[in-house]
């Protein structure tokens, strides 16, 4: 079993500050952090997709998306890896998209 780790739970609406918790794999807060990570990644995907579809962003504007995309991808990989370890299954293979 993996060690506990510091995870984001989202933004506190009262203060506007990010809320973090040390989560236990498989615990309630871990599930909440997983849901937040996947929701955040989906939102970021939509925003980046809209910017790319507009086709008028500068290289500097596009480069600004690299750190948050990297962080979101890392969180999603962590969610997948943790669910694979706890379920004992292997992750599904990726198929090429048309």
Residue 16 backbone dihedrals phi, psi, to 5 degrees: 75, 10
Residue pointed to by tokens 């989202």: 10
Phi and psi of 7, rounded to 5°? -130, 150
Q: What would the pLDDT profile of 11-69 be if each residue is shown by its tens digit? A: 999 999 999 999 988 899 999 999 999 999 999 999 999 999 999 999 999 999 999 99
Question: Over the stretch 45-54, which tens digit does the pLDDT of each residue have?
Answer: 999 999 999 9
Residue 6 is classified by DSSP as E
* Rounded CA separation 53/51 (Å): 5
pTM of structure: 0.73
pLDDT of residue 16: 95
pLDDT at residue 98, as a whole number: 46
List the domain boundaries for the chain. Answer: 5-87
Is 96 a residue whose pLDDT tops 50?
A: no
Q: Would you place residue 83 in the very low, low, confident or very high pLDDT band (cuts 50, 70, 90)?
A: confident
């Amino acid at each position: 079993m993996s060690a506990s780790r510091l995870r984001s739970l989202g933004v506190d609406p009262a203060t506007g500050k990010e809320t973090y918790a040390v989560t236990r794999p498989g615990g309630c807060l871990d599930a909440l952090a997983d849901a937040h990570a996947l929701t955040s990644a989906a939102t970021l995907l939509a925003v980046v997709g809209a910017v790319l579809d507009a086709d008028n962003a500068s290289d500097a504007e596009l480069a600004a998306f690299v750190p948050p995309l990297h962080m979101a991808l890392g969180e999603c990989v962590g969610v997948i890896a943790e669910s694979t370890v706890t379920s004992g299954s292997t992750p599904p293979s990726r198929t090429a998209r048309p």
